[in-house]
Structure 1
Amino acid sequence: MPKTVQDQCDDTCNGTSNIDVLKDQLINDHTVNGLAEVFKALGDPTRLKIIHTLLNKELCVQDIVQILGMGQSAVSHQLRYLRNLRIVKRRKVGKTVYYSLDDEHIEQIFVQMLQHVKHN
């Protein structure tokens, strides 16, 4: 498709030297795919409820099931998905598995976006 006048930059653009610098700083495909997977995980309401539930306290699967009012199989499936992306981590004590957020980065992302959504 041929470029139109509107598609071309004029003299007020940043210029090619800045474009080259920005291209060199672009994140690699592996990193951007990982980031996209995390955002995809955060795009699901059930997973967001699980993250919110784990914000302040480590919980066992049964507690999460009761809080969310869902089946154990469905909650376990979502927890496994979140664990594979290192959003949550687990700790096993006997037959009981406890889940918590993997690190403070997840908490910060969630809290920041929650504040953004609630902001008028």
Structure 2
Amino acid sequence: MNADNQPLRPPIAEDQVRLVVEVFRMLADPTRVQILWALVDRELSVNDLAGQAGKPAPSVSQHLAKLRMARLVRTRRAGTTIFYSLENEHVRQLVVDAVYNAEHAGPGIPPHHRGAGAVLELPDRKRATP
């Protein structure tokens, strides 16, 4: 394990850096984090998301529009209802990792590590050991 022998990562192209910054900007809002967390394992309508986030539906709609423009969520129409879901597995993993990382800042054993030898259920995707 000699860090000097590890190849350096090439710099990120400036346009990619701007996109990464935009993703982090979208994650820098408590309501948007609540919305994304609610979508980790299912799709939901605006009204369902408003209930989850404890915010009025028009406010949640505005946040969803921003998340959609940033390509973090996608939509599916069923009749007159529009359902929202995370855009892809990378967004899902980013949200899960951010929440789990925040849990490590609190006291005690983070909720996602509780249970000796327990297998973590990552909703509808894959299993991992803590």
Paired position in structure 1 for 2:53 = 68
Q: Please say which structure displays the higher CA radius of gyration.
A: 1
- Normalized per residue, the structure richer in helix is 1
Provide, for residues 54-84 of structure 1, a one-character-per-residue CA deviation record: whole Å limited to 9, x for no partner.
1111111111112222111100000010011
Paired position in structure 2 for 1:119 = 104
Paired residue secondary structure (1:32): helix
* Equivalenced residues, count: 100
* Alignment TM-score, normalising by the size of structure 1: 0.76
Displacement of 1:118: 1.1
**Structure 2: runs of 5+ lacking an equivalent:** 106-130
**What's the % identity of the aligned pairs?**
36
* Alignment TM-score, normalising by the size of structure 2: 0.71
CA distance in 1, matches of 2:104, 2:41: 22
**Structure 1: runs of 5+ lacking an equivalent:** 1-13, 15-20
CA distance in 1, matches of 2:49, 2:95: 18
